[in-house]
Amino acid sequence: MTMDEVAACAEAGDPDLLRFVAPDVLDRVERLGDLFARGR
């Protein structure tokens, strides 16, 4: 998840906004890249 997604979740008070299901993952990686690799 991105920091923007975390901020939107906190603002909305809805932790479900940070729940991603398996079919979403490949689309997210294609659009956002490997977010875990960025932190290294």
SS3 letters across the chain = CCHHHHHHHHHHCCHHHHCCCHHHHHHHHHHHCCHHHHCC
Using a pLDDT cut of 70, give the percent of the chain over it: 92
The model's confidence at residue 35, banded by pLDDT at 50, 70 and 90, is: confident
User: Token pair of 35, please?
Assistant: 């977010």
Whether 20 and 28 have beta carbons less than 8 Å apart is answered as yes
pLDDT at 2: 85
Does the pLDDT at position 5 exceed 80?
A: yes
Does the pLDDT at position 39 exceed 80?
A: no
Instruction: For residue 33, give the amino acid letter.
Output: G
Mean pLDDT across 6-27: 90
Q: pLDDT averaged over the chain?
A: 87
User: Token pair of 10, please?
Assistant: 């906190």
